[in-house]
Structure 1
Amino acid sequence: MGFVTSLLIRLGSTALAFWLATLVIPGISLETDAVGEGIVTLLLVSVIFGLVNAILQPIIKTLGCGLYVLTLGLIAIVVNGLLFLLTGVIAEQLDLPFEVDGFWPSAVLGALFVSVVTWLLGLVLDRD
């Protein structure tokens, strides 16, 4: 599979995971009635989430290495929740109809849910 195909599969699976999160996790919402607008919003939120993770996560892991060791990696759940919440804030600033209400139930559970669903979809869809 080529690089572009793999990238599109990851983008689509992340968008699908975000859509499922809006259905399952209370506090994560996609506030649009138009199907096309919803799909575009989910794709844009997936791109934002990917960029936030690609840019900030390595910096946070490097600077917070001691916390990762001290908490045996459990701080990663908090970090992923914060990055998920940041994705919601950026989407709101860009006037996208995607919203994450609060940190604990919404952002943390949303980050865990999206990670698990994306991982499972990657196992099924991203075959080389």
Structure 2
Amino acid sequence: MDVGFLWRVVISGVALWVATVVLSGMQIVGAENTVEKVGVVLAVAVIFGLVNAVVKPIVALLSAPFYLITLGLFHLVVNALMLMLTAWITDHGSWGLRVNSFWTALVGAIIVSVVSAILSALTGDVRAKNRR
């Protein structure tokens, strides 16, 4: 398995977890203990990555005029919608991500983006060394 993919899942998982800690309207559900919570967070991170890889480019292409009109700020709305879609997909079972409102998703998307950027910057050298 690709080490870069695993790093991205871990980084996304940590970023999602931080968002659930900071925001009361965003929760990880379906975990009884720490090990289960880590498993659920990583599963949600994989689904979030798939949503961002498959759905987000299509939405971004279709909403390109809004990106231009808002000078790129519409990107925040698209990120919030991807987070809400991930919550919708994962919350249909007994585990997953729960987001209470669009505004929570918007702030959550900002938190996830910032934490992911920071962790990616901090672990960039580690990933580059593993590719050699």
Q: Give me the TM-score of the superposition, normalised by structure 2.
A: 0.88
1:11 aligns with 2:2: no
Contact 1:9–1:126 (CA under 8 A) maintained in structure 2: no
Count of equivalent residues:
125
Return the letter of the residue paired with 2:118. Answer: L
Distance 1:34 1:45 in 2: 16
Q: Which runs of 5+ in 2 are unaligned?
A: none
Return the letter of the residue paired with 1:89. Answer: W
Identical amino acids, percent of aligned pairs: 36
* Poorly superposed stretches of 4+, deviation over 6 Å: none
Aligned pairs for 1:28-67 (under 5 A) are 28-31=26-29, 32-67=31-66
1:22 aligns with 2:20: yes
Question: More deviation in 5-14 or 38-47?
Answer: 5-14
Query: Once superposed, what is the RMSD of the aligned Cα atoms?
Result: 1.4
Contact 1:6–1:126 (CA under 8 A) maintained in structure 2: no
| Other-structure match for 2:69 | 70
Query: Helix, strand or coil: the match of 1:93?
Result: coil
Contact 1:80–1:111 (CA under 8 A) maintained in structure 2: yes
Q: Give me the TM-score of the superposition, normalised by structure 1.
A: 0.91
